[in-house]
Copies of this chain bind each other. A is one copy, B any other.
Amino acid sequence: MGTENKEIKNRLSQLRKKMKENGIDYYMIPTADFHNSEYSADYFKTREYFCGFDGSNGTLVVSADEAGLWTDGRYFIQAANQLSGTGVTLFKMGEEGVPTIEKYLTDNMISGQTFGFDGRVVPAEEGELLEYLAKLKNVTIKIDKDLAEEIWEDRPTLPCHDAYVLSDELCGRSFKEKLADVRSKMKENNTSMHLLSKLDDIMWLTNLRGNDVECNPVALSYAMITDDMFILFIQSGEITDEVRAYCESNDIVLKDYAEYGEYLSELVLTGNILIDKRNTNYLTYKLVADKASEAGYEIKDCSNPTELMKAIKNETELKNIREVYLRDSAKLTEFIYWVKENVGKIPMTEYSAAMKLDGMRAELPGFIELSFPTISAYNANAAMAHYEATEDSAAEVKAQGMLLVDSGGTYMGGTTDVTRTIVVGEISDEIKKHYTATVSGMLELADAIFKDGCTGRNVDIYARRPLWDIGIDYNHGTGHGIGYMLNVHEGPHNIRWKNSDAANKTELKPGMIVSDEPGVYIEGSHGIRIENIVEVVNRSESEYGKFYGFDHLTYVPIDLEAIDKKYMKPETVKLLNKYHKTVYDRISPLIEDEEVKAWLKKATAEI
């Protein structure tokens, strides 16, 4: 801390020079590609380039004499470290007294100034809000400039990798069947065209996959759907013979990704257009909205129909997911055994442990890639909720304390995500208390029974309650949806207690899968997170309605060395024992090594 970061300061001063040249007083750099993807390819990592903070969520705002970075609770500690010496101020989103970006801009910008951002990396919804605020302040908006282009010399190129086709058998439903459903939703909304920009939605709908974003099997693309046409804009370099043949036989018209903007410009509208403003970029939206307004048509802004269809997994997807989760769970179980056996005996760092696990996963049949970079965090490092150890900076894992590992893979048949915090040596009674409460939260949420109509908001308290009982909370959501051979985070449902965005209106329905991941983060001391993925299932039906529950998909032992029964309710002890019995029953047949199997028997013993 305290040392000046000259590289970042130099880049920021270049940016300020460009801002001046372009008459821009405040310039905003969000973290997004043209599709509002959660993870962006390196080409889009402009915010990291200009401030050094490399967490997955953050927005940089730069003016002549100030620069600020906004990020969320997962990254407060990490961001403070990485911004040190850059002169960039950290704005902790959601904390009391911390202004939102909109508030900050409104408070600081004055009449006549110009506010700039690249209109392709801001969702329409947000762009419209900024436009409105700018108008109120008599501020000009400039959205056609990506200032990084003229500064970032060694900027990576746009990713371009071979796309590939998934069989209808693996997907459960064909592209044409899915498309027919989307078209019927378009009709319901009285629209004759639908622009789809979200990459995982396009992939799921077309049964295609790509490899343009690390850990996300997606291809950069746009889709334009009309009553009788389906156009896929995709880089020609991605189209293999297999993809071309598939598209031909499915009447998918292929056009080049780079031509999307021009195609839109020349488009003649013939009816209303369905657009999801959350996931369509502002530049695209402005173009189409202006056209629609001229032609007397409406933009119907609603959740794009693909999103909910994708979230409710079909029977084939569920069957494959359940199998994949068992194999992935068995592999993680073997890894936990390896860590416990080897810690203190062989050199082990957070990084080497992660590499070991990544290598083990890669051996599994159908492995495609990691679903996200493995988080391997030792003791105090685990207090940083989404800390990533690098080879150089990784801490040594000693036979003391705990190692938190949050990891997952994408396989032919499903995408996994799981967190276990592994005891590697002595731990304090306080840690046991926190650990036991975290496990209680995970198990009690998974045990919920809830009526049709409930959202994640109705059940979130089950995961937090054992922590709230002891005056502790965690600064992140309890659960997120997960893709099918797709992104590890997907909507529209989630499990959160507080914010009331669109996601909170999505009811939990059978076939959805969602994470259940409470945690405890004590800065400078320790971090605990336990994450299972659960499936929403039918439990009962009566004249009062349908009642649902969760089935576990993840079957990995909970570390009993950190469980103290005196901190667990008797009912929850029963849940733990029941879970562990199933873990052994389902996982042990997948484990060949007799020593591991014997250990698993003990690790899942009744308490």
Contact = CB atoms under 8 A, between A and B. Distances in A.
Contact of A471 (B462, B464, B498, B544): B544
Interface string A531-551: 000000000111011010000
Interface string A439-476: 00000000011110110011111101100110111000
A161 interface: no
A461 B472 contact: no
A293 interface: no
Given A450-B461, A461-B458, A468 B547 contact: yes
Nearest to A468: B449
A449 B462 CA distance: 11
A529 to B, nearest CB: 16
Contact of A498 (B453, B461, B472, B541): B453
Contacts of A544: 471-473
Interface string A584-601: 000000000000000000
A460 B472 CA distance: 21
Contacts of A459: 461
Contacts of A457: 457-458
Interface in A405-463: 448-451, 453-454, 457-462
Nearest to A497: B458
Query: Interface extent on A, as a size class?
Result: 20 to 34
Contacts of A322: none
Nearest to A466: B449
A569 interface: yes
A3 interface: no
A570 interface: yes
A93 B458 CA distance: 22
B542 A471 contact: yes
- The binding surface of chain A is classed by DSSP as mixed
A495 to B, nearest CB: 12
Contacts of A142: none
B542 A472 contact: yes
A145 interface: no
A572 to B, nearest CB: 10
A542 to B, nearest CB: 4
A18 interface: no
A505 B460 CA distance: 16
Contact of A450 (B448, B468, B471, B569): B468
Given A505-B500, A570-B571, A540 B453 contact: no
A93 to B, nearest CB: 15
Given A460-B458, A571-B570, A451 B473 contact: yes
Given A458-B497, A542-B472, A465 B449 contact: yes
A157 B541 CA distance: 50
B451 A468 contact: yes
B497 A547 contact: no
A370 B445 CA distance: 42
Contacts of A448: 461, 465
A498 B497 CA distance: 14
Interface string A285-298: 00000000000000
Interface in A499-552: 500, 505, 540-542, 544-545, 547
Nearest to A546: B471
A450 B451 CA distance: 21
A469 B497 contact: no
Contacts of A473: 451, 544-545
A448 B462 CA distance: 10
Contacts of A465: 448-449
Nearest to A467: B544
Contacts of A460: 458
A540 B458 contact: no
Given A453-B497, A459-B461, 17 more contacts: A450-B461, A450-B468, A451-B473, A453-B498, A454-B497, A457-B457, A457-B458, A458-B460, A458-B461, A471-B540, A471-B547, A472-B542, A473-B544, A473-B545, A500-B505, A570-B570, A570-B571
Shortest beta-carbon contacts, A-B, top 3: A473-B544, A471-B542, A471-B540
Interface of A: 448-451, 453-454, 457-462, 464-465, 468-469, 471-473, 497-498, 500, 505, 540-542, 544-545, 547, 569-571
19 contacts: A448-B461, A449-B465, A449-B469, A451-B464, A451-B497, A454-B461, A458-B458, A458-B460, A461-B462, A468-B547, A471-B541, A471-B542, A471-B544, A473-B544, A500-B500, A569-B571, A570-B570, A570-B571, A571-B571
